[in-house]
Amino acid sequence: MNPNVIEDLVGLLGRSNVLVEREDLIPYSFDATAALRRVPEVVVFPRTTAEVASVLKLSQKHKFPVVARGSGSGLSGGSVPTEGSVVVCLVKLDRILEVDARNFTLRAEAGVLTQAVYDAADNAGLFYPPDPGSMKISTIGGNVAENSGGLRGLKYGVTRDYVMGLEVVLADGEVCRLGSKCVKDVAGYSLKDLFVGSEGTLGIVTEVLLKLVPRPTARQTLLATYARMDAAAATVSAIIAAKIVPCTLEFLDSKTLRCVEDYAHVGLPVDAEALLLIEVDGHPAAVADDAAEASRLATARRSAFSALARMRPTTILEDATVPRSELSNMIRFIQETGERHRLEIATFGHFGDGNLHPTFLTDERDADEMRRVEAAMREIFAHALSLGGTITGEHGVGLAKKAFLRGQMGDGSYALLRQVKRSLDPLGLLNPGKVFDP
Ligand SMILES: Cc1cc2nc3c(=O)[nH]c(=O)nc-3n(C[C@H](O)[C@H](O)[C@H](O)COP(=O)(O)OP(=O)(O)OC[C@H]3O[C@@H](n4cnc5c(N)ncnc54)[C@H](O)[C@@H]3O)c2cc1C
């Protein structure tokens, strides 16, 4: 990196907000995706939108790539630095700016943790539903950039459904405010939606305006275990057919539930082949309540990734997603694929959304095993697509899945995607090499 650029960055942000020493940079060389890493040239911590804009203006001037980063909990390599890049880490934009209880909105800077958004809404008697398993560590800006889902997606939807407005800094440093507090607002293209799920490739989100909803007054959690996985899938179909929409309908296969029990000790039945965690919420007349037990079970489910990560040196968590009607077909295929390639794959996920997390328990140092992992992954994605599914339900494309994107989208839509990127980032400096090759 040109030393003048570093001095300019120090001039803009102050020395304590610019990291350049290798040992300081290493923690920013990876996210939560296995086997992807690159040490950045510089990491900067802007504290205001104006500082973000000044960094992007400098990037245009000196043509260095910029990688936005929240907490680095991403599971597709989105915030892994690209060659010669400056990482713009947004964790110091960490203020909740407003909870508007009259309009049911919350305005926050991009680096606020998802849990803090939830808590601020809760303190006002309101509810912010999207709850990625990582909500205690992920930033709201990262959630917007990935359009993250969560355990309550079935009833409440995903992050996009709660984004009413955004403040975004464009590649050239221009600051745009998109959307408004109006429940209905159809003035112009819905540009905010372009930035939701754009994985840091179109602009840097500095502020979010979120929709809140009334807090449900009661919740009940039910744990159902099955000797056969097909029976769990049939239960899900029956629940939906009965027009009951639980807020959570989570699935754990036998391997995952044994690992979770070993890790969290909540008394899960380890001899079951499948487990469903079902949560309904609403009016107390419709829902009985045992908050402590419910929270214990939800915490156990949220620990699935950590529990599995203890089993082997490398944990690769995927999120192939299919229409709900194809769930048992897909799970069976994942199991057979694991056996065929002599791999350990545990599967859990958001069953109600058809969103599965086949998780490879592997070792990145074993080249032969990694080749088998890649082959199995390709087959799993191809099968998901053949069932009308998608290569990613919530983790994004990033680096990890870009090789599969064109296959899913087809040439026309893929070309359109690149055209949008070129018009917003003509020099290709925002998170280059993510989602697709430059
Ligand atoms: C244990 C665990 C459980 C998880 N559970 C879920 C889950 O249930 N559902 C789910 O959807 N995901 C889940 N994830 C994945 C991850 O937490 C989410 O993708 C999350 O939204 C990432 O937020 P982050 O702040 O860590 O972003 P990062 O990982 O730092 O960045 C993610 C992407 O967003 C971009 N980005 C970050 N901030 C901004 C910004 N302000 N402006 C523009 N671009 C930005 C980055 O460039 C990158 O492309 C889980 C991860 C872990 C480790």
Q: Is 337 within 8 Å of 318 (Cβ atoms)?
A: no
Determine the residue of 33, 117, 118, 146 to mutate for testing ligand 1's pocket, defined as the one with the most ligand atoms within 8 A of the Cβ atom: 146
Rounded to an integer, the average pLDDT of 274-289 is: 79
Among the atoms of ligand 1, which is closest to the Cα of residue 73? Answer: 26
Q: Compute, in angstroms, the gap from residue 143 CA to the centroid of ligand 1.
A: 5
Beta strand 66-69 pairing with 86-89: parallel
Among the atoms of ligand 1, which is closest to the Cα of residue 306? Answer: 1
Determine the residue of 33, 73, 156 to mutate for testing ligand 1's pocket, defined as the one with the most ligand atoms within 8 A of the Cβ atom: 73
Q: Compute, in angstroms, the gap from residue 148 CA to the centroid of ligand 1.
A: 7
Q: Specify the DSSP class assigned to residue 390.
A: B
Position 324 confidence tier, pLDDT thresholds 50, 70, 90: confident
Average pLDDT of the chain? 93
* Token pair of 222 as six digits: 């039910």
Atom 9 in ligand 1: which residue has the minimum CA distance? 132
Residues with CB under 6 A from ligand 1: 31-32, 67-75, 78-79, 90, 110, 132-134, 138-139, 141-143, 145-146, 148-150, 199-200, 204-205, 305, 394-395, 398, 431, 434
Q: Compute, in angstroms, the gap from residue 45 CA to the centroid of ligand 1.
A: 18
Q: What are the tens digits of pLDDT across the range 340-382?
A: 999 999 999 998 889 999 999 999 999 999 999 999 999 999 9
Q: Is 49 within 8 Å of 169 (Cβ atoms)?
A: yes
Among the atoms of ligand 1, which is closest to the Cα of residue 135? Answer: 17
Q: Specify the DSSP class assigned to residue 41.
A: S
Residue 431 burial (CB < 10 Å; 0-12/13-18/19+)? buried
* Token pair of 142 as six digits: 């990262």
Position 285 confidence tier, pLDDT thresholds 50, 70, 90: low
Among the atoms of ligand 1, which is closest to the Cα of residue 143? Answer: 21
Rounded to an integer, the average pLDDT of 286-295 is: 68
pLDDT at 1: 81
Q: Is the pLDDT of residue 289 over 60?
A: no
pLDDT at 269: 87
Q: Is the pLDDT of residue 294 over 80?
A: no
Q: Is the pLDDT of residue 104 over 80?
A: yes
Determine the residue of 37, 49, 52, 79 to mutate for testing ligand 1's pocket, defined as the one with the most ligand atoms within 8 A of the Cβ atom: 79
Q: What are the tens digits of pLDDT across the range 111-170?
A: 999 999 999 999 999 999 999 999 999 999 999 999 999 999 999 999 999 999 999 999
pLDDT at 209: 98
Q: What are the tens digits of pLDDT across the range 23-46?
A: 999 999 999 998 899 999 999 999
Strand order in the sheet with 274-282: 218-226, 274-282, 248-253, 344-350, 355-362, 314-317
pLDDT at 286: 62
Atom 2 in ligand 1: which residue has the minimum CA distance? 134
Determine the residue of 137, 138, 306, 435 to mutate for testing ligand 1's pocket, defined as the one with the most ligand atoms within 8 A of the Cβ atom: 138
pLDDT at 287: 62
pLDDT at 302: 82
pLDDT at 153: 92
Helix, strand, coil shares of the chain, percent, nearest 5, are 40, 20, 40
pLDDT at 175: 98
Residue 30 vs residues 39, 72, 74: alpha-carbon distances, Å? 8, 7, 9
Q: Compute, in angstroms, the gap from residue 228 CA to the centroid of ligand 1.
A: 34
Block residue for tokens 């036998």: 254
Q: What are the tens digits of pLDDT across the range 193-242?
A: 999 999 999 999 999 999 999 999 888 888 899 998 888 888 988 888 88
